[in-house]
Structure 1
Amino acid sequence: MTNHGTSNSKEIIGIDLGTTYSCVGVYQNDRVEIIANSMGNRITPSYVAFTENERLIGELAVAQFPNNPENTIYNAKRLIGRNYSDENVQSDKKLWPFRVVQKYGDKPYIEVQYKGEKKQFAPEEISAMVLGKMKEVAENYLGKTVKKAVITVPAYFDDTQRQATKDAGTICGLDVQRIINEPTAAALAYGMQNKNELDEKNILIYDLGGGTFDVSVLYIEATIFEVKATGGDDHLGGEDFNDKLVEFCLDDFKRKNRQVKGDLTKNVRTMRRLRTACERAKRTLSNAKFATIIVDSLYDEHDYQTTVSRARFEEMCGGLFKRTLDHVAKVLQDAKLSESEIERVVLVGGSTRIPKIQELLCKFFNGKQLTKSINPDEAVAYGASMQGYHLSGVQEFRGLISFEILPLSLGLEAPAGFMDVVIPRNTIFPTRKSKTISTDHDNQTQMNINIYEGERARTVNNTLLGQLQLTGIQRAKRGVPQIEVTFTLDLNGILTVEAHDKHTLCNDEIVITNDRGSLTNEEIDRIVKEAENFIQEDQKIKARIESRNALEVHCYAIKIALGNTNQNNTLISGDLKLKLIKASDDCLEWLYNHMDATKEESDQKLKELEIISSPITYLLVFPDTRNAKEKEFNVEEID
């Protein structure tokens, strides 16, 4: 590990946990450094794969995807904090090659084959594996263990999804210091990179990623960022554009091959190959007017080829593009601002590279120039890193200060099933608000208090977050007892609700962790232990691979050293040369035939080869024999 600059034990990394890609950064030496992974990439695919021998994360998981689609997990962010019965989950699971099953009531779990056994993982576990990879990337860069992080989530994530994301951080060994909204993080990135231009202005962050869409309006005054309104869709992004192309290709294939029987969507490998080709075409169409989709032997030995124009793609996705603008209009309405009052429209997220989206957005804002000065893939991690530095307390922070707002109203169930709002949406948090309620019946000594999240008038149409059961209430006529219910929303947007009877002083409290989507403490403890086992397994696999590599390198070093010696050189006898070449060839063949060899077995082979090659060690170090000591070696010296 290499230490790049001064490292402080209080450092807090910033992680953008994305649907398709994730990114990590850290503030060091008066700037944010977005950290490249071991492959040299600054963003890492949010993919996790399970094979017969190991677990793979990131680029390695993507590389083996075509041959192992049923056991390669992606888009876990679309499952986290949701119910199995959620209509979006039911829709998505039909398109994924891996299995999503129902477990523990109504929770979605992902089922794979790993080392010959059936395994089931919660979405939080898969997200924890990706977060763990980001943690490892940061540790390799900093040369030290990382314990603390700021993690971003879509602005429209509800309480359950935020808590589930925090659980994922806990599972991978991170102390999550703050959960912040992705648009706010992007705004911080914009602000830090344009500090000299900041004055009083309204900016709109349009954040369209692989799986989620967020839009937020922020007001900047000096270095203070206040979120005025936020909105979006936690199930809208680049993956949905891919779906449209896939649907088009399926219809096109059926039209061109009417004689083909069977359902293409039931063939996992067919769908995976087609989806990969469609995603490639989508990216091409951001820079070209046409893209060709080619898949050899797509289904039943039939090849498939078609050309899609940018105009046709825009027509397919027109409804989805318009949905983003509907959210923009709603957020402006909530912020009580007109299009002309927005000074900057900042683009974030890889999907904002689509030309039609930029065209529609520019037109929506009456020709206003869009701001593309920040890297759309890295901006969120950049802002999270700034927030981490602010929280670290390393030194006085003179950067930007941000204030988050609540995306959905929080309240209680009133009589007749109506929503009684306690904290309205777009309220800045942290915040604490109370409401006094009373009993519905005479001499009632206990009551259930249901806590909801949402904007509908009736609670049946909103989301139940949890329930308090208050006992020991003062016996009195209905409406007489005074029950104070207090909602406390912390810096992470996580809710605590407390109720107490002002007369008897009985009370109850609940931190909304929400059984409908979040993990119990027992589940987290179990998963943490499993995660530790994965780390140990990964370390063993890494040690085994390094041992194999060392043996292979030594074999080729012998062959290269002997190949570089002059034919007239008398330092090495012919018999010795043949014996050394044979020994190295035998080891290479052994490696090929023993792919699952243990570290100890490879180490033993290397030790034996080193003994055999010890007389020519100087050649391995100094291949130029003119600098070597004049001495002849022969085969007898190593017998």
Structure 2
Amino acid sequence: MSIRHSDFHERCQDDSTTSWAVGIDLGTTYSCIGVYRGNNVEIISNECGYRTTPSCVAFSDNGILVGYPARNQIARNPSNTIFAAKSLVGRKFTDTLLQEALHLKQYPFKVINSEGKPVIHVQDRGETKEFTPEEILSMILVKMKGIAESYLGHIVTEAVVTVPANFNNMQRQATKDAAVIAGLDVIRIIDEPTAASIAYNAGLKVTGKPELNILVFDCGGGTTNASLVVIDNITIDVKATGGDNNLGGQDFDNRLVNHFMQEFKGKFRKDLSTNPRALCRLRIACERAKRVLSSCTQTTFEIESIYDGIDFCTTISRTHFEALCEDLFIKALDPIQKVLSASNTHKSDIDEIVLVGCSTRIPRIVQLVSDFFNGKDPKRSMNPEEAIAYGATVHAAMLRHHPEGPNDHLLLDVVPFSLGIDYPPGIMNVVVMRHSSLPLKRSTMISTSAHNQTSLFISVYEGDRSRTVENMLLGAFEFPGIQPAPKGVPEIEVTFDMISRDIIHVSVRDMGTGKSKDVTISSDNPRIRPSWDESDCMMSGIEEY
């Protein structure tokens, strides 16, 4: 049972205690929240007693359900139960992988095109409604916020929220938008592997080495990430980061689902893909079987009356499961190779390998990582489902100078994608290279492309493609007042100055006249934020549960 926000305001009117800052791992399949209290990180259990909560939202006759109540009724209400909204956030509807997922019917709910963006179409208490992925994520964040408030007895207003290492600016901003709708002030967005390295550093004992090269491998429900981090007792220096936003535990589930669909079709001449409810029941059974195979070599499951009154009973071994997913397991190692190459680091220079994310419980993945590092055993001392929330919580306590908080750590981050300008037109002129360390200051020289041109239009892009049309536009502005001259003669300096990923200070200077213009491009500028009235209605709808 959730508690209304108004109840908290009434309970806290005479309470001088300040609001709490929490750490939230907003996962594709499961989410986790922690708070720093009593000189320790506490991962908070939900109303069911579990320390992770399904990232699942359902629209039922009784209102909006979030977490386990939503997940538990997915087979009865597949078209109105939303999962994996994180995989939709910040994407275009025409995204190739999104279209492939829709073609393969991986979502039992309806995803439609609204002005080029994916929107989820549901029936809510007899009324047709549409929600953006950001709004679905906000409902999950309201749930997580409520879990913390129920536990603490105080209002939670601030949070450090984690995202996959390969999330671009639009996806990060969409995550912030979801938090704002949920009534949370995001102190900072940090990468999931970076959060795991903070958690590892928090429990690190003093070693003989002044620095340790840590390779964090995060294989979760929907994404796979890796980061190379150099840590000591004070500094956490991210050297390179990367990942695959379209590879995780759900893909392993899909392999099992497709396998058993074919098995069922071969036995009974029936196609389960035509029945969303049957497909959801099979998917739940496959996820459960995958988890069992992490500790057992074989498992059997039976689904009663799955289709046309037919009972489906089958068995699968761990060896068979590994064979079905072997190419995906191997592909999951790609981010490791990429971050090592980007940082010019040899695998023999890695001191520790840290595994986080629910999919790192799969024995074959652990074995492949160990084999990649020539038999070096990965560290598995942290709970893989809780490590990211743990690190986010430590970072939140440090940023808010918690009186009982951890020792300060200096987090040095990198730019995940190249940044540049559209010059010459249509071409990505890279100003800041991918994996450049922050803070930074970089410049490039440009000029006019026409005789007597008196202004330039500066467009700032993020991405690693050579053509700007294939990258993401972050912002644009005009630089006027250039003295008339033959084309190519004026010398215009464009400088990017960055302290954090979220804010780019762009300065343009005419070297001949000294005229200059400064512009700040910030991901804090709202793009898709609904009105507060809509936000209040949304939170009220969840509180009805």
TM-score of the superposed pair, with normalisation by structure 2: 0.91
Relative contact order, higher structure (CA 8 A, sep 6+): 2
**Unaligned regions of 5+ residues in structure 1, if any?**
543-639
**Cα RMSD after superposing both structures:** 2.4
Q: 1:203 to 1:474 in 2, by over 3 A?
A: same
The residue type equivalent to 1:159 in the other structure is N
* Matched residue type, 2:458: I
Which residue number corresponds to residue 360 of structure 1? 368
Match of 2:139 among 115, 129, 152: 129
Counterparts in 2 of 1:86 and 1:476: CA distance versus 1, 3 Å = same
1:301-380 matches, within 5 Å, as 301-380=309-388
How is 1:156-555 mapped onto 2 (pairs within 5 angstroms)? Answer: 156-197=166-207, 199-258=210-269, 260=270, 263-395=271-403, 398-415=407-424, 417-495=426-504, 497-499=506-508, 501=510, 503=513, 505=515, 507=517, 509=519, 511=521, 520=527, 523-526=528-531, 528-539=532-543, 541=544
The answer to whether the Cα contact below 8 Å between 1:449 and 1:467 also exists between their aligned partners in 2 is yes
* Cα separation, 1, equivalents of 2:374 and 2:299: 30
Q: In structure 2, the residue corresponding to 1:319 is in which secondary structure? A: helix
Query: Shift in Å at residue 173 of structure 1?
Result: 1.0
Change (3 A) 1:250 1:201: same
Whether the aligned pair in 2 keeps the contact of 1:430 and 1:493 (CA below 8 Å) is no
CA–CA distance in structure 2, aligned partners of residues 533 and 491 of structure 1: 34
Question: Compared with structure 1, are the counterparts of its residues 130 and 499 closer, same or farther at alpha carbon in structure 2 (3 Å cutoff)?
Answer: farther
Shift of 1:10: 5.9
Amino acid at match of 2:283: R
| Superposition deviation, residue 28 in structure 1 | 1.5
Superposed counterparts of 1:55-66, under 5 Å: 55-66=64-75
Q: Using the alignment, how far apart are the partners of 1:266 and 1:512 within structure 2?
A: 46
Provide the secondary structure at the position in 1 that maps to 2:194. Answer: helix
Equivalent residues of 1:201, 1:220 under 8 A apart: yes
> What is the DSSP-based 3-state SS (H/G/I as helix, E as strand, rest coil) of the residue aligned with 1:415?
coil
- Separation in 2, partners of 1:382, 1:511: 31
Return the offset for 1:404.
1.4
Q: CA deviation at 1:410?
A: 1.0
Task: State how far apart, in whole Å, the 2-side matches of 1:38 and 1:389 are.
Answer: 24
Whether the aligned pair in 2 keeps the contact of 1:178 and 1:491 (CA below 8 Å) is no
1:520-563, Cα deviation, whole Å (9 max, x unpaired): 3xx4142x322212333455x36xxxxxxxxxxxxxxxxxxxxx
* Residue 128 of structure 2, aligned match among 111, 118, 121: 118
| Higher deviation after alignment, 414-423 or 120-129 | 414-423
Alpha-carbon offset, residue 340 of structure 1: 1.2
Aligned residues: 529
SS of 2:411 mapped into structure 1? strand
Q: Give the counterpart of 1:154 among 152, 164, 170.
A: 164
Unpaired segments ≥5 residues, structure 2: 1-7
Q: 1:206, 1:348 within 8 Å by CA — same for their partners in 2?
A: yes
Give the one of 8, 11, 15 matched to 2:24: 15
| Partner residue in 2 for 1:635 | none
Kept after mapping to 1: 8 A contact 2:56/2:71: yes
Which has more strand, going by share of residues?
Answer: 2
1:263-287 per-residue CA deviation (whole Å, 9 max, x = no partner) reads 5323211111111111111111111
- What secondary structure does 2:147 align onto? helix
Amino acid at match of 1:455: D
Task: Trace 1:82-121 onto structure 2 (pairs within 5 A).
Answer: 82-93=91-102, 94-103=105-114, 105-121=115-131
Query: In 2, Cα distance between the equivalents of 1:496 and 1:233?
Result: 29
Query: For 1:66, what is the secondary structure of its paired residue?
Result: coil
Q: CA deviation at 1:416?
A: 6.3
Tell me the equivalent position of 1:29: 38
Q: How far apart are the structure 2 equivalents of 1:467 and 1:267?
A: 48
For the residue of structure 2 that corresponds to 1:474, the secondary structure is: coil
Point out the more displaced range, 335-344 or 410-419: 410-419
Report how far residue 82 of structure 1 moved.
0.6
In 2, Cα distance between equivalents of 1:265 and 1:96 = 11
How far 1:413 moved relative to its partner? 2.5
Relative to structure 1, is the Cα distance of residues 494 and 257 closer, same or farther in structure 2, using a 3 angstrom cutoff?
A: farther
Q: Cα deviation per residue 1:118-170 (whole Å; 9 max; x = unaligned)? A: 11111111111111111111112222111111111111111111111111111
Q: Which has the higher helix share?
A: 1
Q: Shift of the alpha carbon at 1:325?
A: 1.6
Say if 2:322 and 2:364, in contact at 8 Å, map to a contact too.
Answer: yes
Distance 1:524 1:493 in 2: 17
TM-score, normalised to structure 1, is: 0.78
Question: Contact 1:468–1:510 (CA<8 Å) still a contact in 2?
Answer: no
